[in-house]
Structure 1
């Protein structure tokens, strides 16, 4: 297997440029912080950015966990990977990862200074240091299940096609890892309830919420609620509308990943309609 190392200090913008460097060296396969990425899709691994401490993050990125390593190795074999880009902070890190994955020696090395200017590197370091932002070279929908509540923003990459004309060529995801020195944030269940209550109050056919429960787990949020509906509505259609609108607003306002939402029509009430 052809193995290319992409090397540079932490926070210098390697993940931001990884897809381009991989394509330039004839591969779609990238190892980045414990993940195996093919094109715009995560196909194996666990992100080091999910770990709760910096030490645990380093161990994850170096594939010290046997099960994690076997998962990535088996996937590489299943896809019959012929070339692989490994991102690392040093020559030694890249070579260690290659050795633990059993993919052979690192045959080529690309350094961040080869593909980014001094100014770009300084800007990337400043963003990491001051805002705690990390880039993962896949679209947001690929990692939302793993980073529920930790999204900062998606990063869209454009290529100039002509004067004033640009083509979208890819999307990367910006996250703040759980071990970030910038700290974590939490969203209370009552805040979720307030969002849900606001959304449902604007849906025709819903009278009120009679029971609500939200459980925020590491992989996302689980919601259960009972509704009092107004007699005469199409119940099945209305419950589906509630699910869609509530999900849309929670994702938009909180970046939480909704794993499950159970909505029950608990009872019906009559509504006095005003006569025109």
Structure 2
């Protein structure tokens, strides 16, 4: 069996990228948080995300439970798995998984920075820290929703380079995920408003909208001051940069888009 490792800190988006990366490598199976996933479908195992605390979650993820371990080993044999990607928070963890499941030595080690951009990693951390959301690289229909009292929702469909569907993701918030800060949208609006008001160009901030979905976007409607010192385009770009810097300073994440609407120009 060809064994591959993908490691990186929690909340950096490993599970989000797992299906596409495994497909890119030509790997048929994935071990992620205690689950055995073959060709995008869970075939055995119990997810560590079902556990009630982080200690039991880690134990589940590295297959310390004998019944759990043997069930996954049996499925590996039944499905005649020839290649597998092990996902963990470190090489030490993926080596432990390989040893527990008797998979043999790991041939190739990858870290999350090899497959995700800094921007993607920052976004994943931002979502984990502010919303407590985790991604499972299995279809929504395969998630035992009774385990999650607070959030279960469909993620996204994953497609290969030829637009063939290779799997789906599901978003959950495990019971043990309590270390996130739930930030009301009004906080983002207040910060963006304050950032604009600090700029000499801005006469008045009329409206601010913050959108957090696939992308984090700010929509700012402003009045500007006359006379203009320099070109308007350059001044507006500088305003965008200032807002971006302020947002990053507070949340360690850059906005994906900042839309500026100039409604009027007035003399101070």
TM-score normalised to structure 1 length: 0.61
- How far the C-alpha of 1:167 sits from its partner, in A, is 7.8
**Residue 170 (structure 2) aligns with:** 173
Q: CA deviation at 1:151?
A: 3.2
Query: 2:144: which partner in 1?
Result: 144
Stretches of structure 1 lacking an aligned partner (at least 5 in a row): 184-276
CA contact (8 A) 2:129 2:179 kept: no
Counterpart for residue 99 of structure 1: 99
How does 1:56-205 map onto structure 2 within 5 Å? 56-145=56-145, 147-157=147-157, 170-181=167-178
- In the aligned structure 1, how far is the partner of 2:159 from the partner of 2:76? 30
Displaced runs of 4 or more, over 3 A: 144-152, 157-162, 166-170
Residues 50 and 146 of structure 1 are in contact (CA less than 8 Å); yes or no, is this contact kept in structure 2?
no
**Secondary structure, in 3 states, of the residue corresponding to 2:58?**
helix
What residue is the counterpart of 1:28 in the other structure?
28
- The 3 A distance-change label for structure 1 pair 100 and 161 is closer
Q: Which residue of 1 aligns with 2:249?
A: none
Q: Provide Cα deviations, 1:97-129, integer angstroms capped at 9, x if missing partner.
A: 000000000101121101111111011011111
Q: Secondary structure at the match of 1:81?
A: coil
Contact 2:44 2:72 in 1 (8 A): yes
Secondary structure, counterpart of 1:157 in structure 2: strand
CA distance in 1, matches of 2:4, 2:44: 19
Deviations 1:3-37 (A, max 9, x none): 00011111100000000111112122100000111
Contact 1:35/1:44, CA 8 A, preserved across alignment: yes
Q: Secondary structure at the match of 1:11?
A: coil
Q: Is the 8 A contact 2:35 2:44 kept in 1?
A: yes
Partner of 1:199: none
Deviations 1:185-226 (A, max 9, x none): xxxxxxxxxxxxxxxxxxxxxxxxxxxxxxxxxxxxxxxxxx
| TM-score, length of structure 2 as denominator length | 0.62
Which whole-Å deviations, capped at 9, do the CAs of 1:34-68 have from their partners, x for residues lacking one? 01111232111111011111111011101111111
- Which deviations, in whole Å up to 9, do the C-alpha atoms of 1:83-110 show, x marking residues without a partner? 0110011010000000000000010112
Tell me whether 74-83 or 169-178 shows the greater mean CA deviation: 169-178
* Superposition CA RMSD, Å: 2.3
Q: Label 1:126 to 1:74 Cα distance change in 2 as closer, same or farther (>3 A).
A: same
